[in-house]
Structures are given as structure tokens and as C-alpha cells.
A and B are shown apart, each in its own frame.
Chain A
Amino acid sequence: MPLWLEMAVSVLLTYCVGFGIGWLLWNRKG
């Protein structure tokens, strides 16, 4: 696996996790 692809996968995964947590916090009730 090329280095750039490994990096892209890890950065995108981090982005998705951050996005998901942000989404949950933003939309929580109360």
C-alpha cells in the first residue's frame, strides 16, 4: 500500500470520527 494512501485513509478516518462526534454533539437534545 503506498504511503500517501495509508496517510489519506488515516486522515479521512480521523475526519469522519471527528465529524460524527461533532454531529452528535450538535444535534443532541436538551
Chain B
Amino acid sequence: MNPRRASIAAAGAALCLALSFAASRLYGPVFIAGLERKAVAARDAAGGQDIDLAFRDRYGWYTRHPILSGGRKLDAATRKRVASAVAEVPGIGGVSWARDSEGVPAVTTLHCQDDVQTILRTRTIRFSEASARIDPASERLLDEVAHALRPCVGSIIAVTGHTDGVGNSEANVALSKARAEAVRWALVGRGIPADGLRAAGVGARDPIPGLDPRDPANRRIEFSVITSAPVKPTPIDTPGPG
């Protein structure tokens, strides 16, 4: 094959890659939302309302392979039935349970907030620049954070994103919110139930006291335990079809 033809073939392959990436960005959320609706209906029919379905992987990408978490009060047979009911929904690629989603005793202590702050005092969750993609180097750190937050499961845990004061403030708020969401989904992927996690972004509004608002050290994710009340879904909160 001469170089010209080879480069045309390579350009075609690159075009295919770009097209599939663009298509999954555009159509992915709609597709996953439809899938999620069917999966939630299947889950409810199997009697597993307490089980969370996360349609994002640990990196925040949409996936057809939902991660199941929660539902600790259900017996093993029900959990198995729910998992197979969800897995049988057309379009679902397969299901897996979040790591450590079973057998953890529900201890009510609020030490976890301090534990997380201790972990994050010397290290920070890093992101790619101007993006909400969590740096792969921070995966270990997130494992530790999820482990430290586990005793607080049952409380409302707020994940707040902050940026520095450089750049457009609206973009900063959007970016900090996206980063907080990315961390939230990463924690859901690690077995923290999604219904107890709230993600918010405040942009550069809340710099570290005593620090110049433009200082890059203001870019951070903070965790706070809002309440120790156990999260009980009310009829309005309970996810259902539609």
C-alpha cells in the first residue's frame, strides 16, 4: 500500500473514532437515561428499591454495565434476584456490585469527616486542567476517601468543588460542580450510596481563609457531613419509572 493510500485509510479510522466518540457524547446520555428507566423498573419489580444503580464507571464515563450498591438490609436471594433482573434488561451489558457493598456494619460516627480531612490535608484529588476528568494518580486517594467515608454511610455527605479566582466565574462554578459530580460518581463506584451524596460547585466564591483567591491551592474538593440522620427514601424521593 502506498503512503498516500495508507494515510487515507488511517484518516478513515481516525474519523470513525471521532464519530463514535462524538455520537456517544451526544446520544449517550439519552441512551443511558432510557436504559436506566428500564433498569429501575426491573429493579423495583424484583423488590430491590434500596439498591442504587450507577450507570457511570469509576472514571465518570457512561456505561451499559451498571454498578449496584446499597440494599444491605436485603437478603442475599433478593439481591441476587435484583441483580439478575437488572442484567436481563435489553441493552444492559452486565451488572457488578460495588466493592465492599456488603457486610459492612452500620456504625454511626462522624469521625469520617475528620478522617477525610486528614487524608486530604497533605494530598489533593487532582483533575486534568480545565476538565472534570479525575487524574488517574488520584484513584488511590479516592479509594482511601471512600474507605474513610464508609462509617458515615446513612448520613448526607456534601461534596463541594472549589476553583481559584482565575477565569470566568460562571465557567468556574460549572467546572467546580462538574468536578464535584465526578468525585461523587467515583465514590458511588466505590460503594458509597448515591442517595447520601450531594455534589455542589461554588466556583471561586469560597477561597481558603488567608489565601489569595487567585492562588491555585484554592482548587479543591471538600467533604462535609451535613446530618447524621439516616437517609430514608420518602415516597417522593423513591426513584421509580418515569
Contact surface of A with B, Cβ cutoff 8 Å: 1-8, 10-12, 14-15, 19
- Closest approach, in angstroms, between the C-beta of A9 and any C-beta of chain B? 8
Bound together, the chains give a CA A3 to CA B19 distance in angstroms of 13
In contact, A4 and B16 (Cβ under 8 angstroms): no
In contact, A4 and B25 (Cβ under 8 angstroms): yes
- Write 16 A-B pairs (CB below 8 A) sorted by A numbering: A1-B65, A2-B57, A3-B28, A3-B61, A3-B62, A3-B64, A4-B20, A4-B28, A7-B21, A8-B16, A8-B20, A10-B20, A12-B20, A14-B16, A15-B13, A19-B12
Known contacts being A8-B16, A8-B20, A12-B17, is A3 close to B63, with CB within 8 Å? yes
The 5 closest A-B pairs by CB, nearest first: A2-B61, A4-B24, A7-B20, A11-B20, A8-B20
- Whether a CB of chain A sits under 8 angstroms from the CB of B59 is yes
1/0 per residue, CB under 8 A from A, across B169-194: the answer is 00000000000000000000000000
Bound together, the chains give a CA A5 to CA B62 distance in angstroms of 10
Known contacts being A8-B17, A12-B17, is A3 close to B12, with CB within 8 Å? no
Residues of A within 8 A of B21 (CB): 4, 7-8
Residues of A within 8 A of B63 (CB): 1-3
Known contacts being A11-B19, A11-B20, is A4 close to B12, with CB within 8 Å? no
- Whether a CB of chain A sits under 8 angstroms from the CB of B9 is yes
Residues of B within 8 A of A8 (CB): 16-17, 20-21
Residues of A within 8 A of B107 (CB): none
Residues of A within 8 A of B9 (CB): 19
Residues of A within 8 A of B59 (CB): 2
Nearest B residue (CB) for A5: B61
Partner pick for B61 among A4, A10, A15, A19, CB 8 A cutoff: A4
